[in-house]
Amino acid sequence: MIAILGNASGIVLGREARAGGWRRLAAAFAALLLGLPLGAGAASPATEDSCATCHSDPELLVTNKKLYEYYQQWQASIHKEEGVSCSDCHGGNPRSNDKTVAHGKGVASSDPDSGIYYQAIPETCGACHDDILEGFSKSNHFRHLVTKKQEKQGPTCVTCHGAINVDILTVNSVQESCARCHNETRGIHPEIPEKAHRLLNRFLSIHRFYRYISTNAEPEEAKAFFGEIDVKLRKLSVTWHTFDIAAVEQQTGDVLAVLKAKRDEIRQRRRAGTAEAEAAAAGDGGGRR
């Protein structure tokens, strides 16, 4: 449906880097589209959002503290920043100020009609993260979402990213996250957490090379280079979500090789440049002053 544009380097960059200029515009545009499906004219989506308005009631802090905390989580989230509201994930009718009408057939995770019902979550998140959903639906995890026995159930987006105030697993957190299911006790591929840790370590190297190049390349050179590498990174992020470890390893190796070659090229040029400058400065001798 609505593709999230400008996400290309999301795989390795920090939130600040990713949330820059034009991608923010793209997200705002998407939010605007989402605010208008009922042909309600050009009113700002925020004022039409009964969910957030009612759930922000400070009275709830006293009457239903837990509920209020969910609102606070949303307040602190990147999704709030990007104009993604409660109903985008939960469903319901954000144009009614009446609680019963707004909640409709159900907005809780136990309601099969809600967008946050366990098996519905990938589709819900995938409405915006569509390429990632495409990768994820090819995974063994996706096939195991419908498994009845809970101990055999595969993870959904929320298992790894959290629900409202989402986060991205890092080299430090990934092992523990996978090991919730992939461990000796359960006996499903207990070697996976270690493998995932190694892979994310290599993602970190990608991040470092990427940073070096973006700081030190000439502007024209950077534009051409990142135009290509961002597409590869995007693909890698999609492949990651297929959880086909061999494919991820291969693509990670390819991307690393390209980045490293570029980094080495720039570094050599800079060294040569420095040597030249030093020689010139030495030649200049006492001629200054």
Binders of ligand HEC in range 250-289 (CB under 6 A)? none
**Smallest gap, in angstroms, from Cβ of residue 115 to ligand HEC?**
8
SS (H, E, C) the chain: CCCCCCCHHHHCCCHHHHCCHHHHHHHHHHHHHHHCCCCCCCCCHHHHCHHHHHHCCCCHHHHCHHHHHHHHHHHCCHHHHCCCCHHHHHCCCCCCCCHHHHHCCCCCCCCCCCCCCHHHHHHHHHCCCHHHHHHHCCCHHHHCCCCCCHHHCCCCHHHHHCCCCCCCCCCCCHHHHHHCCCCCCCCCCCCHHHHHHHHHHHHHHHHHHHHHHHHHCCHHHHHHHHHHHHHHHHHHHHHHCCCCHHHHHHHHHHHHHHHHHHHHHHHHHHHHHHHHHHHHHHHHHHHCC
The size of the interface with ligand HEC (CB under 6 A), counted in residues, is 85
Site string for ligand HEC, 217-256 (x = CB under 6 A): --------------------x--xx-x-x-----------
Near ligand HEC in 90-109, by CB under 6 A: 90, 92-94, 97, 99, 102-103, 107-109
Which two tokens mark 224? 């051409």
Q: Binding residue for ligand HEC (CB under 6 A) from 35, 68, 145, 155?
A: 155
Q: Give the interface segment with ligand HEC, choosing from 161-169, 204-212, 213-221, 273-281 (CB under 6 A).
A: 161-169
> Shortest gap between Cβ of 247 and ligand HEC (angstroms)?
10
- Nearest Cα neighbor of 55 from 40, 67, 38 is 67
Nearest residue (CB) to ligand HEC, 164 versus 255? 164
Closest contact distance (angstroms) between CB of 24 and ligand HEC is 8
Tell me, residue by residue from 27 to 56, as one string, x for binding to ligand HEC by CB under 6 A and - for no binding: x------x---------------xxx-xx-
User: Which residue among 64, 119, 250, 274 contacts ligand HEC (CB under 6 A)?
Assistant: 64
> Minimum distance between the CB of residue 141 and ligand HEC, rounded to whole angstroms?
5
Q: Which of residues 70 and 226 has its CB atom nearest to ligand HEC in the complex?
A: 70
Cα–Cα dist 161/193, whole Å: 16
| Residue 146 C-beta: closest distance to ligand HEC, Å | 11
Nearest approach in angstroms of CB 21 to ligand HEC is: 13
Separation CA 94–CA 84 (nearest Å): 12
* Stretch in the footprint of ligand HEC (CB under 6 A) among 86-94, 249-257, 262-270, 281-289: 86-94
Closest approach of ligand HEC to the CB of residue 44, in Å = 16
Please identify which residue in 35, 68, 120, 196 interacts with ligand HEC, judged by CB under 6 A: 196
